[in-house]
Structure 1
């Protein structure tokens, strides 16, 4: 009981005078809890709104009281981070074990500083064993360094020498891991940075991948295994080998089942997501939706990557022509508590997806507010305007769809002409072939004066080329929110059932426009 007695004395003598945590059991009768509820339940509460909620009306006195209350609550909310529940398997599996190591390390350091060296050694030894088992080498090193200090002070010569030897081994492994982490950081930066020629990117990836293989052979730690696995997926992705990603992720799960991956570090969510993504890019959306149903149980609806997972489920539904499912995904996304936490670009993507969905599956009675939102999207270019890859073309196409739906022939012709200029100026590389072909299909709408029969006749050779053009590597892939051939068919059907009214002057302008290039 000696250790327990020492710990009890430390806590009694060193506890804080004021409770460091919020007392949620007290309910709304405590101002601190009312403030937390107001912050959590409101989208963007203003300072004055919060003061009115807590003190009835703004005043100099109430403003000063609010500042003190807010500072106190903010500090207590930070303290609650130590007590979050990380046991839910739908979060990153490694997070739980990483934080357990960090928690033990913190406790061991505090105990040593309070003079409980023997208890500190027990806790740090537990941290060292757990960190080695789960492959958190950096925490293992910190635990070993603390044990070295404690054993030296306690004159434990045998244990001191053993931990020094273990520390040297761990530091060697960590040097290898740091080299792998530096390579992975370079790879991630190259993927998200400015557009780089595909051949240049792949040429740089090959030696990096080989270097990672060698580092993992030397280190054999979960950290190097995870990085090597992820960069192999990046290489397949940038090569456009999406079938390779499907095969690779299936084999990774078989290796996990055989114990070749550390189950406390392997992120099954990432593995399933990449397979979903690969099925999308290999035009197997039904298979991708099957994986999405399996993957859903591994993603928590409040996790930061939930919305990204939902984006790809939406795209799979759109590519499969399951527009009712797509509508449900969009509705669920807007109701998600995570939606407002996304950055502006991510929220704009969801608005764009919704605009496409409204074209192929128009709401029975769109509200005036929804019509205003769609009009705003069509008339104002979001912040992708300087992005010559990604969603820029999807936005330009979406504008054409909006004005087709509005039966505004003049606006359609103007935007189709803008797309023709855009195609000639920005889409010259071979990797943009699918997008170029679809923009030429859209040009037919103006050239053939919205006649669906003539558009369909002239589209046949372009559709044949499109069917024989595979999607490029991810670094250069324009986003096909709806597959181009499927979207073209929907546009033709729209021209048959709801053709725009073509004014005489507009018809003459269309007839004199440049031929499709």
Structure 2
């Protein structure tokens, strides 16, 4: 039933002349099964078979009905309006090549050689524009068949030479894609396995670059580009991503990358994010402002982009800009469409903004000072557990609730021992130790400041961890430590 439901949903976006004439104007059982599967009335085979035949899913009549409907739905995919499905132009070009090649293969079996060549000519035109090596090879192989049958030796030899070059290029491209896929797959494995395989990634990246230089192929470049970003994020080398994304922008401007296939919006997103993580804040803010119009307002990508823009503002202590961005998000017509995790992130961002800048205008929602209506850390908040723990600690510090703080330091010690054992957790581990120091030294500003200096210097010297492992610093720990010392000065001394 799930297969029919998915196919029915896709077919509902097809042209009027196809789907509606097949199903909407029909009164038969096929139409009923289609419509009720589409509207989630028939959620499983038991409900559908009972409604249609008063029987069960093993009824041969029901089985044959499903076979007939699925055949029609699959055939009808040829008529789907891909613009309505919001499929990108490059993927529409791929589908057009597949359609033309299907026509050409059919005509080849009918020995209509001129029509075959007419269709392969169209395929080659599209494939050259988008650098679709696969489709160029398919088209040339069909043309070779035609020239063999027609005895056109000159064109046969020309196609043979071209095909030989393309097959060599395809071997390189396949190697590049395979290397990228291996790195991406390893990046999705457990932390332990990722670290184990990371030593091999460097040589793979070098090989990918060599393949790109050898072929000057878009496929090779894009494999190198994507793999390089994954690897650089893992090792925390965000300067390398800054260089890669800026270089890609320059290549686009110089016409050295196929603009029809390169995802420039993603590159701009990654460029801004890399500047944030590389602590190139001033440049990052400039790019964030420049590229913002390229993201469709209220779209998921727009919200994600604004997260990086907001964090750049917060890290650079540009609180006026941070507040403006918070207002843009909170006033968005699509805010309620965000996932629960995305909404929670924005709650955390607002809380940290209030901690660092306050809300003297009273323009933000009236919540407790640090929006501490937050749940305890848990597995479903991976990446923000430390941020939540820190915020809770500062909230009780501000309230001078020493009993709650004593309880908190036990939680912090346990969290350090359980979750912060690796080198990529070093910054979080050091900062939590600074929080523990505050309680153990009885909130004495001078003692905390002097004894914390050594830990603070270690924090400054600690390398930026890679994305694959690190917890997120919504505000740099160095800024937070200074803010905590200010709280001690105002409330405890």
Instruction: Give the alignment's TM-score, normalised by structure 2.
Output: 0.71
- Structure 1 window deviating more from structure 2 (426-435 vs 103-112): it is 103-112
Give the distance between the partners of 1:17 and 1:252, measured in 2 at CA: 43
Match of 2:169 in 1: 173
Of 463, 476, 486, 2:456 maps to 463
CA drift at 1:291: 1.7
* 1: CA distance, partners of 2:242 / 2:373: 39
Q: 1:120 to 1:336 in 2, by over 3 A?
A: farther
Alignment correspondent of 2:354: 358
Counterparts of residues 376-387 of structure 1 (less than 5 Å)? 376-379=373-376, 381=378, 383-384=380-381, 387=382
Corresponding residue for residue 506 of structure 1:
none
Q: 2: CA distance between counterparts of 1:495 and 1:345?
A: 33
Matched residue pairs, number?
431
Q: Which sections of structure 1, spanning at least 5 residues, go unmatched?
A: 1-13, 23-45, 49-59, 61-74, 87-94, 501-517
The CA distance in 2 between the partners of 1:207 and 1:270, in whole Å, is 25
C-alpha contact 1:355 1:374 (8 A) present in aligned 2: yes
Q: Partners in 1 of 2:21 and 2:269 — Cα distance?
A: 43
Quick check: 1:378–1:402 contact (8 Å CA) kept in 2? no
Tell me what 1:415 maps to.
408
**Conserved 8 A contact 1:102-1:139:** no
Distance 1:165 1:406 in 2: 79
Q: 1:103 aligns with which of 72, 96, 103?
A: 96
Task: Note if contact 2:434-2:455 (Cα within 8 Å) is conserved in structure 1.
Answer: yes
Check whether the contact 2:445–2:489 (CA below 8 A) recurs between aligned residues: yes
Question: What is the aligned partner in structure 1 of residue 329 from structure 2?
Answer: 333
* C-alpha distance in structure 1 between counterparts of 2:80 and 2:153, whole Å: 39
2:64 counterpart residue number = none
Deviation of 1:443 (Å): 1.1
Give me the CA root mean square deviation.
Answer: 4.4
1:285 shift after superposition: 1.5
- Native 8 Å contact 2:313 2:319 kept in 1: yes
CA contact (8 A) 2:186 2:194 kept: no
Does structure 2 conserve the Cα–Cα contact (< 8 Å) formed by 1:378 and 1:399? no
Number of the residue aligned with 2:427: 434
Change (3 A) 1:149 1:361: farther
The runs of 5 or more residues in structure 2 that have no matched partner are: 1-15, 25-38, 42-50, 52-75
| Equivalent-residue separation in structure 2 for 1:222 and 1:278 (angstroms) | 23
Q: Which residue of 2 aligns with 1:32?
A: none
Instruction: Work out whether residues 124 and 143 of structure 1, in 8 Å CA contact, stay in contact via their aligned partners in 2.
Output: yes
Answer whether contact 1:104 1:123 (CA < 8 A) is retained: no
Deviations 1:17-49 (A, max 9, x none): 846999xxxxxxxxxxxxxxxxxxxxxxx999x
Q: Could you tell me how far 1:286 is from its partner in structure 2?
A: 1.9
Distance across 1 between alignment mates of 2:142 and 2:331: 48
Residue 467 of structure 2 is aligned to residue 474 of structure 1: yes
CA contact (8 A) 1:148 1:163 kept: yes
Closer, same or farther: CA 491–236 of 1 in aligned 2, 3 Å: same
Q: Distance in 2 between matches of 1:179 and 1:288?
A: 35
CA distance in structure 2 between the partners assigned to 1:332 and 1:289 by the alignment: 17
Q: 2:82 is matched with which residue?
A: 81
SS in 2 for 1:449: coil
The 1:331/1:456 distance shift into structure 2, 3 A limit, reads same
Question: How high is the TM-score relative to the length of structure 1?
Answer: 0.68
Q: Alignment partner of 1:297: what SS? A: helix
Q: After superposition, what is the alpha-carbon deviation per residue over 1:56-92, rounded to whole angstroms, capped at 9, x for unaligned?
A: xxxx9xxxxxxxxxxxxxx99x944345678xxxxxx
Cα distance, 1:180 vs. partner? 1.7
SS at match of 2:380: coil
- Report the Cα distance in structure 2 between the residues aligned to 1:341 and 1:20, rounded to whole angstroms: 34
**Counterparts of 1:92-491 in structure 2 under 5 Å?**
95-106=88-99, 109=102, 121-144=117-140, 163=159, 166-167=162-163, 169-196=165-192, 200-301=196-297, 304-336=300-332, 343-363=339-359, 364=362, 370=367, 374-379=371-376, 381=378, 383-384=380-381, 387=382, 390-404=383-397, 408-491=401-484
Deviation at 1:439, TM superposition (A): 0.9
Q: Say if 1:298 and 1:123 are closer, same or farther in 2 by CA, change over 3 A.
A: farther
CA distance in 2, matches of 1:17, 1:425: 57
The structural deviation recorded for 1:442 is 0.9
Take 2:274 and 2:106, find their aligned partners in 1: how far apart are those partners?
A: 52
